[in-house]
């Protein structure tokens, strides 16, 4: 049984705990009879995954980095996100455009007005509106704690190896996006134990009337 399409994004600095809950949320929707696609950005299509590898591994200037993120997003929207929503499915995405405003805008200090223009072009829908998630779960955690959680877990990529002040700027970038669109965002205290974080995720989804 399909209902209307639902687009949920997970956001937060690296190590905030997003991935820990994505599959559980997908399963909770499946248990309610929904078809769910779990995907991620940058990535989600063969082309976007190739662009992800470049963005996470190659040195590049901030404009190139921002354009790669939006190029990957455009392909992802066209190939995966819009078709799934048109079929009435649930689409759960590990990061979306808020990450560009947080990492490229906040972290790198790239011009936010340029990002806003790219957002309007890349996310333009057939009806002229700009595609945004129906709900964004923002995992908020002090960068020091996130770094401790990630320490030794894996070889850090080009973003994960940034210093703490980079992630402080990323966190402020996320906070600005949440303040600008409070109806879309659920801000989750990710310093809590996993069970409490999971309860907050479920409560945010229920508050939107998605189940």
42 interacts with ligand LXEULUCI by CB under 6 A: yes
100 interacts with ligand LXEULUCI by CB under 6 A: yes
75 interacts with ligand LXEULUCI by CB under 6 A: no
Cross-strand bridge partners of residue 124: 130
7 interacts with ligand LXEULUCI by CB under 6 A: no
Of the two residues 182 and 193, which places its CB atom closer to ligand ATP in the complex?
193
Cα–Cα distance for residue pair 57/83, rounded to 1 Å: 30
ω before 9 within 30° of 0 (cis)? no
Q: From the list 21, 34, 95, 169, which residue makes contact with ligand LXEULUCI (rule: CB under 6 A)?
A: 95
Half-sphere exposure of 28 (CA within 13 A, CB side): 15
Cα–Cα distance for residue pair 76/72, rounded to 1 Å: 6
Q: From the list 25, 26, 69, 141, which residue makes contact with ligand LXEULUCI (rule: CB under 6 A)?
A: 69
Q: From the list 21, 36, 41, 166, which residue makes contact with ligand LXEULUCI (rule: CB under 6 A)?
A: 41
Helix (H) or strand (E) holding 139: strand 135-140
Residue ranges for the binding site for ATP? 12-19
Cross-strand bridge partners of residue 67: none
Give which of 157, 7, 161 is closest to 73, Cα–Cα.
7
194 binds, among ligand ATP, ligand LXEULUCI, none (CB under 5 to 8 A by kind): ligand ATP
């Amino acid at each position: 049984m399909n209902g209307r399409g639902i687009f949920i994004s997970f956001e937060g600095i690296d190590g905030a705990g997003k991935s820990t809950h994505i599959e559980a949320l997908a399963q909770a929707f499946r248990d309610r009879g929904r078809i769910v696609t779990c995907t991620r950005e940058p990535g989600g299509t063969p082309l976007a995954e190739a662009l992800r590898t470049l963005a996470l591994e190659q040195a590049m200037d901030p404009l190139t980095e921002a354009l790669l993120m939006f190029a990957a997003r455009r392909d992802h929207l066209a190939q995966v996100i819009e078709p799934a929503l048109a079929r009435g499915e649930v689409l759960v995405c590990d990061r979306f455009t808020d990450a560009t405003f947080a990492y490229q805008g906040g972290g790198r200090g790239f011009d936010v007005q340029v990002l806003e223009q790219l957002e309007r072009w890349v996310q333009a829908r057939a009806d002229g509106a700009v595609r945004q998630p129906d709900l964004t779960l923002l995992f908020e955690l002090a960068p020091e704690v996130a770094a401790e959680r990630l320490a030794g877990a894996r070889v850090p990529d080009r973003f994960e190896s940034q210093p703490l002040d980079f992630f402080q700027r990323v966190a402020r970038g996320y906070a600005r996006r949440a303040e600008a669109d409070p109806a879309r965002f659920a801000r989750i205290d990710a310093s809590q134990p996993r069970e409490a974080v999971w309860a907050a995720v479920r409560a945010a989804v229920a508050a939107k009337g998605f189940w």
